[in-house]
Amino acid sequence: MPQLRMPAVWSEAHRLHDPHGEVWVGILIPPLEVPERGEVIREALVAAGAPVVAPKPHPRSDLAAVHDPGFLAHLESAYERWVDAGFPDDPGQDRVVPYVFPLPQSFGAVPRRMPTAESARAGWYAMDTTTPLGRGTWEAARAAADAALTAAEMVLGGEPAVYAMCRPPGHHVGRDFYGGSCYLNNAAIAAERLRRGGAGRVGIVDLDAHHGNGTQVIFYERADVVYTSVHIDPDEGWFPHFMGRADERGVGEGAGANVNAPVPEGAGDAEWLEGVDRLCEAVAGCDALVVSLGVDGHVDDPESPLEMTGDGYAEACRRIGSLGLATVLVQEGGYDLTTLGGLVVGSLAGFEEGRGA
């Protein structure tokens, strides 16, 4: 077992979020983004000797630097309003799950107005039906964002690298929409905090098996945050489906500041590490870095068709660490409970090696 020096921010509040199930193509299926994830990661961090610290609570303004105020108010109150509307008893659904979505093309030139029924309001900010919002989801999401913010502040204070165990994860969340088992965009919140703390340009390297559509959209028109991602090609039929192609390069001031390296089904370490090299090149001149550390591209992970190994993840993080940038590593996906802890610790150890710590 490798030993870690870098601090790890971890909060037991992640346990408050238990999706219970997710509705996929109309069927209730067992969730993979489960509380056990946060526990196996903590066990591995402790076994590796990482100093585990609790996140500091942060004001709403740190979230509003990334997210729309109406969106935040919705996430905070949606569960209570769902209960008040009686859905846990009739029809017997105790998680907020939408059934209609206000697609832009359904309005034309007609103004979009918030509906009154909670069943319809549930679709206003949600991009899918697989991201149920229950009792404690808001508190857990808030604690995950606090972990990312705490890690960013430790890095601004001089720590070379800090890991934040963010659960629920965040990279599928945009300014005013959530989905993909994510509620608040922890990586974007950390990047924004680093910017406001004085980093002129922040790079984001997203290693999760899936494209971070939310993070991409948030920074797509900006030059001061460079979003880069290696992921399963959405054209091979994988979530988030609508985004993640190589020709999405950013627009306006952000032109050229978005780099996608999609890889095909069955891609292993060699192909994937080529993509990682392209991301490293794109963020090399930045003043600080956020790593969206998803490890669900591992060969044993049930959420992707990629075939990376633990050595591949360690090597990717070694290359990222060798950039020598002040870095916040934020947990994203990773769903095989038997390998998850080792993959996270192995990745962080690789980073420290590359960094020369």
Please select the residue that binds Zn ion; options are 153, 208, 248, 307, rule is CB under 5 A: 208
- Going by their DSSP bridges, the two strands 161-164 and 22-24 should be labelled as unpaired
172 noted as active-site residue: yes
Of the listed pieces 56-64, 89-97, 201-209, 281-289, which binds Zn ion according to CB under 5 A? 201-209
In whole angstroms, the minimum distance from the beta carbon of 286 to Zn ion comes to 23
Nearest residue to 346 (alpha-carbon basis) of 47, 55, 63, 30: 47
Using the rule CB under 5 A, is 210 a contact of Zn ion?
Answer: yes
Q: How many CB atoms lie within 10 A of CB 285?
A: 12
Question: Which residue's CB is nearer to Zn ion, number 78 or number 232?
Answer: 232
Question: Which residue's CB is nearer to Zn ion, number 283 or number 306?
Answer: 306
C-alpha 79/C-alpha 87 separation (Å) is 10
In whole angstroms, the minimum distance from the beta carbon of 209 to Zn ion comes to 5
Q: How many CB atoms lie within 10 A of CB 36?
A: 11
State how far the alpha carbon of 107 is from the alpha carbons of 58, 68, 229, in Å: 37, 21, 33
Interface mask toward Zn ion for 306-345; x: CB under 5 A: ---------------------------x------------
Question: Which residue's CB is nearer to Zn ion, number 210 or number 355?
Answer: 210
Contacts of 266 (CB under 8 A, 6+ apart): 305, 306, 307
In whole angstroms, the minimum distance from the beta carbon of 31 to Zn ion comes to 14
In whole angstroms, the minimum distance from the beta carbon of 329 to Zn ion comes to 15
3-state DSSP assignment of residue 27 = strand
C-alpha 328/C-alpha 166 separation (Å) is 12
Of the listed pieces 46-54, 104-112, 121-129, 204-212, which binds Zn ion according to CB under 5 A? 204-212
Q: Which of 58, 74, 172, 211 is catalytic?
A: 172
State how far the alpha carbon of 175 is from the alpha carbons of 64, 166, 211, 215, in Å: 9, 18, 16, 9
Interface mask toward Zn ion for 281-300; x: CB under 5 A: -------------x-x----
Looking at the annotation, which residues are catalytic? 172
Report the interface residues with Zn ion, using CB under 5 A.
208-210, 294, 296, 333
